[in-house]
């Protein structure tokens, strides 16, 4: 078995890999010999990042697929393409995220945009790629969350902030949902060989808030000079992607490459299960719940 493992080139899918934390993660994993599939929404940015990563890593196995992660049909289509082109998948890094505007906006599918990109996309892409992930021997799903989750609330009657929307609330909620999703995913995948982790990368100088006209966005951009570089900010993501012997911590939340306790609601198993069910219901049109590989995997 170990001989087979040594021959196998590990494959990673990384969302939002053209910028910030995702780009450094892709570059460093490419240096470690991974085949990289970047998921990006802008061809020009994706091509530029791909060339940079190839140049820095001397690894030519770097490709991208274009996908707007606020479109659930595009996520399914992209997952379909990945499943056709790859024999297996060793690592999925759900990293792409946004800080939205001060005015509530919805996607073409009708979801609040932060909720769609930062939560639904993590859920749906993972769900769609699980059959492929199950084919590899030791597999990880790493979800980039944030300490901002501590300001988040799980209100089942107002998941998408149709009442009382605010940029910080939407972002905090979405990052809380990343941690709750990870905890419930770990339970559903127990014993399957697939493990999952969420993390806070630190306050990192990236383009995260460059499209946001909100006060939060303005403060973020003003504070950039005091923040970590993307190289430092990607360390915990990379560590969770490759560290040995952490499988027993599946479902955990990490900061500075150490497990830490998230907020109380993020440790509430019933709430995590409820968020899961509500997410599946919301994605009803896109997710065939009955045939979901999540169900009965235990
Ligand atoms: N920076 C921080 O201080 C910090 C702190 C805590 C957590 N985080 C988390 O870290 C993750 C990475 O963010 P970052 O700080 O590295 O910011 P970033 O440099 O802006 O990277 C975000 C990536 O997500 C992509 N993206 C956004 N919306 C998308 C969509 N609809 N479809 C496809 N791709 C989309 C962006 O693509 P474009 O380049 O095309 O926009 C970009 O590649 C996020 O989940 C964020 O919540 C960041």
| pLDDT, tens digit, 9 for 90 and up, residues 221-232 | 889 999 999 999
Q: Extract the residue ranges of the chain whose pLDDT is less than 50.
A: 1-6, 289-291, 295-298
Mutational test site, ligand 1, from 14, 19, 170, max ligand atoms within 8 Å of CB: 19
Say if ligand 1 is within 6 A of residue 208 CB: yes
Give the C-alpha separation, 294 to 282, whole Å. Answer: 16
Give the C-alpha separation, 227 to 215, whole Å. Answer: 18
Question: Under a CB-based contact definition with an 8 Å cutoff, are residues 14 and 36 in contact?
Answer: yes
Name the residue among 97, 112, 211 with its Cα closest to residue 163: 112
Question: How many angstroms is it from 115 CA to the middle of ligand 1?
Answer: 14
Name the residue among 201, 207, 183 with its Cα closest to residue 239: 201
DSSP code at position 9 = P
Question: How many angstroms is it from 77 CA to the middle of ligand 1?
Answer: 21
Helices (H), 58-162: 72-85, 113-114, 121-133
Q: Does the annotation mark 171 as catalytic? A: yes
Q: How many CB atoms lie under 10 A from the CB of residue 13?
A: 27
pLDDT at 155: 98
Say if ligand 1 is within 6 A of residue 16 CB: yes
DSSP code at position 8 = P
pLDDT at 6: 45
Atom of ligand 1 nearest to the CA of 144: 45
Strands (E), the chain: 11-15, 35-40, 62-66, 91-94, 139-144, 194-200, 253-255, 258-260
Model-level pTM?
Answer: 0.95
Question: To 5 degrees, how large is the angle CA 92–CA 29–CA 20?
Answer: 80
How is residue 273 written in tokens? 């299960």
pLDDT at 84: 96
How is residue 98 written in tokens? 């946004």
List 34, 64, 122, 171, catalytic entry? 171
- pLDDT tens digits along 232-263: 999 999 999 999 999 999 999 999 999 999 99
Write down all domains in the chain, each with its CATH number in brackets.
Answer: 10-289 (3.40.50.720)
Question: How many angstroms is it from 162 CA to the middle of ligand 1?
Answer: 23
Give the C-alpha separation, 60 to 44, whole Å. Answer: 18
């Amino acid at each position: 078995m170990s001989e087979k493992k040594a021959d196998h080139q590990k494959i990673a899918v990384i969302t939002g890999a053209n910028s910030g934390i995702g780009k450094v993660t892709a570059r460093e994993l490419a240096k470690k010999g991974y085949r990289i599939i970047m998921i990006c929404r802008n061809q020009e940015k994706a091509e530029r990042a791909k060339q940079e990563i190839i140049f820095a890593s001397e690894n030519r196995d770097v490709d991208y697929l274009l996908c707007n992660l606020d479109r659930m049909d595009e996520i399914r289509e992209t997952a379909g393409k990945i499943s056709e082109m790859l024999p297996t998948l060793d690592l999925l890094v759900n990293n792409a995220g946004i800080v939205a505007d001060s005015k509530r906006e919805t996607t073409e599918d009708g979801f609040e945009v932060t909720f769609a990109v930062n939560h639904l996309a993590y859920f749906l892409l993972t769900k769609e790629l699980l059959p492929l992930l199950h084919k590899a021997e030791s597999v990880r799903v790493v979800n980039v969350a944030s300490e901002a989750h501590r300001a988040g609330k799980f209100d089942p009657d107002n998941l998408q902030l149709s009442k009382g929307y605010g940029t910080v609330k939407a972002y905090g909620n979405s990052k809380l949902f990343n941690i709750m999703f990870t905890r419930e995913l770990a339970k559903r995948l127990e014993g399957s060989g697939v493990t999952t982790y969420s993390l806070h990368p630190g306050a990192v100088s990236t383009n995260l808030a460059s499209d946001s006209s909100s006060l939060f966005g303005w403060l973020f951009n003003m504070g950039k000079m005091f923040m970590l570089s993307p190289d430092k900010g990607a360390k915990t993501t990379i560590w969770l992607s490759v560290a040995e012997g952490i499988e027993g911590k599946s479902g955990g939340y990490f900061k500075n490459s150490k497990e830490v306790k998230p907020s109380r609601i993020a440790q509430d198993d019933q709430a995590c299960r409820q968020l899961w069910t509500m997410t599946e219901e919301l994605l009803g049109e896109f997710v065939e719940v009955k045939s979901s590989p999540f169900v009965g995997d235990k």
